[in-house]
Structures are given as C-alpha cells and as structure tokens.
Amino acid sequence: MTQEYAGRDRLRELLDAVLDEDNTTLDQMAGGAHSSPFHFSRQLSKAAYEPPVAMRRRVMLERAAYQLRRGATVTDAAFAAGYESVEGFSRAFTRSFGHLPSQVPETASHWLPAPNGIHFHPPTSLWVHSKEQTMSALTEQLVAHDLDDTRGLLDLAKSLPDDDYRRAQIPGNTTLSWDGPEESLADVLTKLVFTKEVWLAAIEGTDFPPERPNDVATLVERHDESAPRWLAVVRDFDRRGAWDDRLIDALCDPPESFVVSSVVAHVLTFSAHRRQLARQIVRGLGHEVDTGDPISWLRAQRGEQSGEGAGEGR
C-alpha cells in the first residue's frame, strides 16, 4: 500500500464521490475524490468493475424504484434521480426494470444487476451483495447495444419523408427466406422490431403477435414495449444458467425445438445485419447516419469522451 492510501478507504471515497447529490458529471465526481476524471474512472472501474457514470445511473434508478414503491410520484423520482425530463427517466427505467415506473409492483426488488454487488440501500446507504452473479459484460453490452442502436435508427427514421421511408431501395432483398422481402427502410426496421416480438411470444407462451401498423411512431411504441422484456428475458436465462435449455416453439408449424443460447445468438446476428442494412439504405437515400460502432456507444454509456485510439476512424 502506498503512503497516499495509508489509513484510508479509497474505494469508499470513490463511491462517496459517485453518489454525492452535487456530483452529476464525471468531472464533478472526480473533483469530489480529488482526482482527474481519467484516473478517477480508471480507479473505480478497476476496484468495482463498473465505470462511475454507469454506477451512478444504476444506483439512482434503484433509489427511484424504492421511492416509487414508497409512494413517490414519477415526476419527483425522475428529478431526484437527476433526469432532465420524465420521458427520459421513464425510458431508462423501463429498459432497466422491464416495466413502467408507474407500474412498480409492491413486492418487486429495487435492485438491478450489478457486476460488483453494490446496490442502493435505504434510506441513503449502499449494500454490498458479496455473492451476486450477473450476466457477463460482453453479453450485456451486445444485447443493450442492439436495443439502443435499433431505437436510434427508429429516431432517425422519424426525420425522413414517408416516401423515403417506404421506397424500395434494394429490390428483391431478403435476409431470411421465411421473413419475406426487405427492400425498404420500413421493411428492415419492421423486421428488427417484429423479430423480438415473435421470440418473446414463444418464450413467454403467448399468442403469435398480431399484425400492426409499421409507421415509425407505432414501431417506436412497439420497440419500447418489447425491448425491456427482451433484456429481462436474456438476463433471466443467464441468472438461471439456462443457456443449454431447450425452447419448444409451438408458434411454429409443426412445433420446433431451439437451444436457448442459439435463439439469443440468432437474434443478435440478424439484428446486427439489419441495422447495418438500414444504414446502407439511409445513405442510399442521401441522408447522413452514424456507423453504429459499439465502441462509440459504450463510451457514451460510460460518459467518456471520444478520442484517438483503437477503432477510431476505422
């Protein structure tokens, strides 16, 4: 131990800086811990296996869930958690917990999966669950990036003329034969959303999803409803070690058997293909779109600034 840390609980100091009510940015957290943003993020990530911005966001959502269960309004919980709008809070909360903040079950846990077992403990403390097991960082990132990137493409589609949205740009294109043609941006985005709806129906044992409109506004609603359920399902597979379990899909005719891990891999594989296909179509229509790089997405999630390094410009 260096002299600098002698007699000090450095991890406790770092956590205090993360959770201080006045520290809402990485720079403020680092200042509270008398460190540079780079070293602060590096120290906490190494000690707690979670970047400071991501930890604060998660713990604040856990606190909000506890407050909502105790009767707080969604508006009060949103602003107490540091969100600038109720809509942004509701979207983040729903994606994390799998249900709307207005629908918190009284018996539901306010904890979210944590790589370090560190959770909000009322009224203003932390609880460390030493035996917690969570989904691997890679699996979590792949699933979360897929959901966020799909939402980003749907948001982009809102700004496009309807003619561009529905115009066939890749005549005769199909991704999977049983899914039919995917010639326009509308076709591709619809399949991105519908695929998860179908697999959720098979996993949850519900009816085949009914045919619904595929205008952008409706697709956004459908995605926002299915995305948190899909993330919760994958987390549950991992929590139970159910990757080798078999799913009997009665929605197929005749029913088929699928290994759970292959279902998740299937969804991720063809979703990644369709997201890049959507970008190809958008560029072909003369509109700008990002690359969908998971490196940039993760940096944004962690509150890090982009800079030169691996992956930049590739």
- Looking at residues 125-153, what average pLDDT do you find? 76
In the predicted model, is pLDDT for residue 244 greater than 50? Answer: yes
**232 to each of 69, 77, 228, 236, 294, how far by Cα in Å?**
20, 22, 6, 6, 21
Whether residue 161 is found in the same domain as residue 268: yes
In the predicted model, is pLDDT for residue 75 greater than 90? Answer: yes
Is residue 58 within 8 Å of 65, Cβ to Cβ? no
- State the pLDDT confidence band at 262, using cuts at 50, 70 and 90: very high
Whether residue 242 is found in the same domain as residue 290: yes
What is the reported pLDDT for 308?
A: 37
Asked which of 77, 95, 128 is the last residue of a domain, the reply is 128
Whether residue 172 is found in the same domain as residue 296: yes
- State the pLDDT confidence band at 96, using cuts at 50, 70 and 90: confident
What is the reported pLDDT for 7?
A: 36
Domain containing 209 — which CATH number? 1.20.120.450
Asked which of 128, 149, 176 is the last residue of a domain, the reply is 128
In a domain, 5, yes or no: no
d(CA 220, CA 94): 14
Tell me which long-range contacts 30-37 makes (C-beta under 8 A, separation of at least 24): none
* Residue 224 or 166, more confident: 166
In a domain, 311, yes or no: no
Cα–Cα nearest to 169, from 290, 291, 278: 278
In the predicted model, is pLDDT for residue 115 greater than 90? Answer: no
Whether residue 210 has a cis bond before it, omega within 30° of 0: no
In the predicted model, is pLDDT for residue 240 greater than 70? Answer: yes
In the predicted model, is pLDDT for residue 119 greater than 60? Answer: yes
In a domain, 312, yes or no: no
In a domain, 114, yes or no: yes
Is residue 55 within 8 Å of 118, Cβ to Cβ? yes
297: left (phi over 0), alpha (psi -120 to 50) or beta: alpha
- Looking at residues 189-207, what average pLDDT do you find? 92
Number of other CB atoms surrounding residue 277 within 10 Å: 22
d(CA 221, CA 242): 30
What is the rounded average pLDDT for all residues in the chain? Answer: 83
Domain containing 110 — which CATH number? 1.10.10.60
Number of other CB atoms surrounding residue 141 within 10 Å: 15
What is the chain's Cα-based Rg? 21
Whether residue 54 is found in the same domain as residue 163: no
Whether residue 211 is found in the same domain as residue 281: yes
DSSP states of 39-61 as a string? HHHHHHHHHHSS-HHHHHHHHHH
What is the reported pLDDT for 4?
A: 38
- State the pLDDT confidence band at 5, using cuts at 50, 70 and 90: very low
d(CA 105, CA 110): 10
Asked which of 128, 155, 176 is the last residue of a domain, the reply is 128
Whether residue 98 is found in the same domain as residue 148: no
Which range marks the domain in which residue 87 is found? 11-128
Residue 109 identity:
S
- Looking at residues 137-157, what average pLDDT do you find? 92
| Element at 96 (helix H, strand E) | helix 86-97
What is the reported pLDDT for 10?
A: 64
Q: Which of 123-127, 170-174, 290-294, 309-313 has the lowest mean pLDDT?
A: 309-313
Whether residue 68 is found in the same domain as residue 142: no
In the predicted model, is pLDDT for residue 211 greater than 50? Answer: yes
Whether residue 149 is found in the same domain as residue 55: no
Q: Which of 69-78, 80-89, 253-262, 301-310 has the lowest mean pLDDT?
A: 301-310
In the predicted model, is pLDDT for residue 281 greater than 90? Answer: yes
Q: Which two tokens stand for residue 111?
A: 């904890």
In a domain, 6, yes or no: no
Whether residue 81 is found in the same domain as residue 180: no
34: left (phi over 0), alpha (psi -120 to 50) or beta: left
- State the pLDDT confidence band at 213, using cuts at 50, 70 and 90: very high
Whether residue 108 is found in the same domain as residue 149: no
- Looking at residues 131-141, what average pLDDT do you find? 67
Residue 92 identity:
A
d(CA 224, CA 67): 23
What is the number of residues in the chain? 314
Whether residue 179 is found in the same domain as residue 241: yes
d(CA 106, CA 111): 13
Question: Based on the structure, what is the number of domains in the chain?
Answer: 2
Pair type for strands 125-128 and 246-249: unpaired
Among 13-27, 79-93, 127-141, name the most confident range.
79-93
In a domain, 76, yes or no: yes
What is the reported pLDDT for 307?
A: 44
- Looking at residues 273-285, what average pLDDT do you find? 96
Whether residue 170 is found in the same domain as residue 276: yes
DSSP 117: -
What is the reported pLDDT for 199?
A: 94
In the predicted model, is pLDDT for residue 1 greater than 80? Answer: no
- Looking at residues 251-278, what average pLDDT do you find? 91
**191 to each of 91, 133, 171, 281, how far by Cα in Å?**
22, 33, 16, 15
- Looking at residues 12-39, what average pLDDT do you find? 78
Is residue 54 within 8 Å of 301, Cβ to Cβ? yes
In a domain, 309, yes or no: no
In a domain, 291, yes or no: yes
Tracing tokens 């991105």 back to the chain, one arrives at: 192
Number of other CB atoms surrounding residue 133 within 10 Å: 11
